[in-house]
Amino acid sequence: MKAEIITIGDELLIGQVVDTNSAWMADQLNLLGINIHQITSISDSREHILSTLNEATLRADIILITGGLGPTNDDITKQTLSEYFDSPLVFNEGAYKQIEQLFGQRGFPVTPLNRLQAMLPGSCTPLPNECGTAAGMWFEKDNTIYISMPGVPFEMKSIMTQEVLPRLASLNNEVIVHKTILTQGVGESFLAATIADWENRLPAHIKLAYLPQPGLVRLRLSASGSDFDKLHSQISQITLELANLIPEYIFGYDNDTLEEVIGKQLLSLKLTLATAESCTGGYTAHLITSISGSSEYFKGSIVAYSNEIKENLLGVKHDTIVKSGAVSEETVKEMAVGARIKLDTYCAIAISGIAGPSGGTDEKPVGTTWIAISSPAGLVAEKFLLGEHRGRNIRKAGIAALNMLRKELDKIQQ
């Protein structure tokens, strides 16, 4: 089954309100095996609503609508749906009792304006709203299902969870199985070329999507069919084939993060970590400490933004900075060793680079970043050319540093 989501409201189109409803609804529908064919945001306009419904009917089996069900004059969705389905508004006793109960709990009388919210198109099946005064509405016409709900997120979620999803689940016999493979250290185009033969062998019912973001590329496999166990088995086998093909790039699956992965490694090995950061300004430490329980393995960080701090706190030699520069293999290695000694940890990450947009030279352009890992097992460093955008460079550097550490810890675990 194919679904389309229509969100109604001028506030969405002018950027006053961010549409979080569509993402949540799409996720929930996908879990039921319902494909989202299109998401559209439109204005509070009768003509716009009617034309969008006519177009959506040609594309989708299920049309979900949010917004425009409030009691004020600018909320016109219900009246427009009444016209679209040629179904006059009639007083619905059940919807009114829901409004009375809600107002009674809050200690307010039901106003005439709120009473009007119990007027619903006669052909709809009302969907109780336990969190608000606007009932949802379920219509069926020419083998298409239309579902209208309030735009207030917690009200929409209540109706979806209590009413809509169970009804749709009973109508749909298709399932969709997803698996996301998380990679780092390889660009999207190079990755696509590397796995091209594997991708070309995928069965027709299994699709691959590339989802790049700064520092990472996610690969999402989606299998559709009617047999969940069979699809899950196929996805598992295909994922294993990919893991054997590019083991050096895969760091996790689905909702894993690099900070979680290295946290588990450090806990398992009972090792401690520190960071010394220049261009990232503590971002890597932020990632590490975003994980609950990180105090078990993370001791602290030195944000050595100036050369003076690099020398005085981390023990970087003055001559090293003079001869090689603050952004160099020699300096970042001394930073990593200094952080490990100063904070008394098993291993340390050090980062020094030119985040931009200024500060670059022909020899060291913006984005040039050196990262080092120091541990009793050795000292490694790697140079990265990250690009010209400061925010993305900081993000990419932090992710690259965590992935370098992951690889070093893998060697210990093997």
Write the pLDDT tens digit of every residue in 151-184.
Answer: 999 999 999 999 999 999 999 888 889 999 999 9
Task: Say how far apart CA 95 and CA 110 lie, in whole Å.
Answer: 13
Cβ density class 190-201: b for 16+ within 10 Å, e for less: ebeeebeeeeee
Q: Are residues 208 and 82 in the same domain?
A: no
Model confidence pLDDT, tens digit, residues 42-65? 999 999 999 999 999 999 999 999
Token digits for 266? 């450090």
169 CA to centre of own chain: 25
Instruction: Give which of 127, 150, 123, 122 is closest to 137, Cα–Cα.
Output: 127
Residue 414: pLDDT over 80: no
Considering the chain, what is the average pLDDT of its residues?
A: 95
Least confident of 44-58, 87-101, 313-327: 87-101
Residue 200: pLDDT over 80: yes
The domain spanning residue 267 has which CATH number? 3.90.950.20
Model confidence pLDDT, tens digit, residues 338-354? 999 999 999 999 999 99
Which of 147, 171, 195 lies at the terminal end of a domain, its last residue?
171
The pLDDT of residue 413: 78
Instruction: Give which of 243, 181, 182 is closest to 399, Cα–Cα.
Output: 182
Neighbour tally for 126: CB within 10 Å: 17
Cβ atoms of residues 177 and 223 within 8 Å: yes
Q: State the sign of the Cα–Cα–Cα–Cα dihedral 41, 42, 43, 46.
A: negative
Select the more confidently predicted residue: 104 or 93: 93
The domain spanning residue 81 has which CATH number? 3.40.980.10
pLDDT, average across residues 197-219:
95
**Portion of the chain with pLDDT greater than 70, in percent:** 100
Least confident of 128-137, 196-205, 396-405: 128-137
pLDDT, average across residues 244-249:
96
Q: Are residues 14 and 106 in the same domain?
A: yes
The pLDDT of residue 58: 96
The pLDDT of residue 207: 94
Q: Are residues 272 and 310 in the same domain?
A: yes
The pLDDT of residue 320: 98
The pLDDT of residue 362: 92
pLDDT, average across residues 273-288:
98
Q: Which residues contact 221 (CB under 8 A, 6 or more apart)?
A: 178, 179, 180, 181, 202, 206, 207, 208, 235, 238, 239
Select the more confidently predicted residue: 108 or 251: 251
Model confidence pLDDT, tens digit, residues 112-153? 888 888 999 999 999 999 888 899 999 999 999 999 999 999
pLDDT, average across residues 304-330:
97
Residue 301: pLDDT over 90: yes
The domain spanning residue 191 has which CATH number? 3.30.70.2860
pLDDT, average across residues 198-219:
95
Q: Are residues 91 and 33 in the same domain?
A: yes
Which of 153, 171, 189 lies at the terminal end of a domain, its last residue?
171
Model confidence pLDDT, tens digit, residues 59-73? 999 999 999 998 888
pLDDT, average across residues 208-221:
94
State the pTM of this model. 0.79
Residue 39: pLDDT over 80: yes
Q: Are residues 263 and 324 in the same domain?
A: yes
Residue 103: pLDDT over 90: no
Token digits for 246? 């590019």
Q: Are residues 356 and 209 in the same domain?
A: no
Q: Are residues 125 and 180 in the same domain?
A: no
* Total domains present in the chain: 3
Q: Are residues 9 and 26 in the same domain?
A: yes
Q: What is the largest CA-CA distance in the chain?
A: 85
Residue 367: pLDDT over 80: yes
The pLDDT of residue 174: 84
The pLDDT of residue 106: 79
Residue 209: domain span: 175-253
Cβ atoms of residues 297 and 271 within 8 Å: yes
Q: Are residues 118 and 192 in the same domain?
A: no
Token digits for 114? 């709120």
**Portion of the chain with pLDDT greater than 90, in percent:** 88
Which of 253, 279, 307 lies at the terminal end of a domain, its last residue?
253
Residue 7: pLDDT over 90: yes
Is the backbone peptide bond immediately before 357 cis, with ω within 30 degrees of 0? yes
What pLDDT band is residue 219 in, cutting at 50, 70 and 90? very high
Cβ atoms of residues 369 and 378 within 8 Å: no
Residue 238: pLDDT over 90: yes
pLDDT, average across residues 199-214:
94
Q: Are residues 37 and 140 in the same domain?
A: yes
Q: Are residues 201 and 263 in the same domain?
A: no
Q: Are residues 18 and 46 in the same domain?
A: yes
Residue 105: pLDDT over 90: no
Instruction: Give which of 364, 325, 332 is closest to 350, Cα–Cα.
Output: 332
Instruction: Give which of 178, 180, 179, 177 is closest to 226, Cα–Cα.
Output: 177
